[in-house]
Amino acid sequence: MNNLVAFLRERRNLPKVRVKASAVLEAFGETAPEALVGRRLPVPAEGGTVEYRISEYLIQQDAFVVMRVSDVARPDLVAFLNARYDEEEAQADVAAQHQKPDWSCPATCVVDLGEDLLSIDDREVAYHIVLHDPARVLAEVEANRRTLDLHFIQSGTGGTWDTDPPAICNECGTPHPCETVRLRGLPHADHEDYRQEWKP
Ligand SMILES: [Zn+2]
């Protein structure tokens, strides 16, 4: 069991993996191989469970084809980023409704929010607040979303063997998530849902 789990953990980015029949038989106990097709195997992983389904038994190679079917409680980096953008967008929208989207410094140490004037002793902080007004946040969210749209997943060529290529980025041609998408994750590295394996 441990051998199979360790193997699947290592290969979790591959949608399909071929494994030795002996490893699967050991994991499920001695059973007729044909009876194991369709069975599911949850594999504990950092932060959740990755579930595999036995899709095929290859008699001549004495092997099983195991397909990854779900990453329970493990959203991928794109889903994680979209959740962050949704939050930022919602917060900026509310702020823009309460005040106005474009803030300015009409005088030193004063921020014009629209409805209110904010007075701050530190003029550099006042400039910083103006730089991050709702209009700026919404523009950054839009740019980030368009970046993700460009770097979408192009499926691997598909196939049955453990040499099948993993999902790749349509723009970069490198395994997903590509370097560009990983870099977009860095500003959120202190979020509790961020996974260390996403680091560029
Ligand atoms: Zn890319």
In tens, the pLDDT along 132-155 reads 999 999 999 999 999 988 887 765
Q: Do 93 and 43 sit in the same domain of this protein?
A: no
Q: d(Cα 97, Cα 70) in Å, to the nearest integer? A: 40
Position 157 scores a pLDDT of 39
Q: How far, in Å, is the centroid of ligand 1 from the Cα of 149?
A: 10
Q: Do 136 and 68 sit in the same domain of this protein?
A: no
110-112 sheet: strands from edge to edge:
104-107, 110-112, 117-119
Q: Do 110 and 89 sit in the same domain of this protein?
A: yes
Choosing from 10, 38, 72, the residue where a domain stops is: 72
Q: How far, in Å, is the centroid of ligand 1 from the Cα of 153?
A: 8
Number of domains in the chain: 2
Q: How far, in Å, is the centroid of ligand 1 from the Cα of 174?
A: 7
Position 159 scores a pLDDT of 38
- The DSSP element (H or E) to which 134 belongs, if any, is helix 134-150
pLDDT < 50: residue spans in the chain: 73-74, 156-164
In tens, the pLDDT along 96-138 reads 999 999 999 999 999 999 999 999 999 999 999 999 999 999 9
Q: Do 41 and 107 sit in the same domain of this protein?
A: no
Q: Do 104 and 145 sit in the same domain of this protein?
A: yes
Choosing from 72, 89, 111, the residue where a domain stops is: 72
Q: Cβ contacts of residue 196 below 8 Å, gap of 6+?
A: none
Q: Do 88 and 60 sit in the same domain of this protein?
A: no
Q: How far, in Å, is the centroid of ligand 1 from the Cα of 91?
A: 28
Position 1 scores a pLDDT of 56
Position 52 scores a pLDDT of 83
Choosing from 49, 72, 95, the residue where a domain stops is: 72
Q: Do 45 and 132 sit in the same domain of this protein?
A: no
Q: How far, in Å, is the centroid of ligand 1 from the Cα of 19?
A: 30
Q: Do 194 and 107 sit in the same domain of this protein?
A: yes
Q: Do 125 and 164 sit in the same domain of this protein?
A: yes
Q: How far, in Å, is the centroid of ligand 1 from the Cα of 197?
A: 17
Position 160 scores a pLDDT of 39
Q: Do 82 and 164 sit in the same domain of this protein?
A: yes
Q: How far, in Å, is the centroid of ligand 1 from the Cα of 20?
A: 34
Position 162 scores a pLDDT of 44
pTM: 0.61
Domain encompassing residue 45: 2-72
Q: Cβ contacts of residue 20 below 8 Å, gap of 6+?
A: 62, 63, 64
**Domain of 47: which CATH number?**
2.40.240
Q: How far, in Å, is the centroid of ligand 1 from the Cα of 45?
A: 25
For ligand 1, a single-atom ion, the residues with CB < 5 A are: 151, 169, 171-172, 178, 180
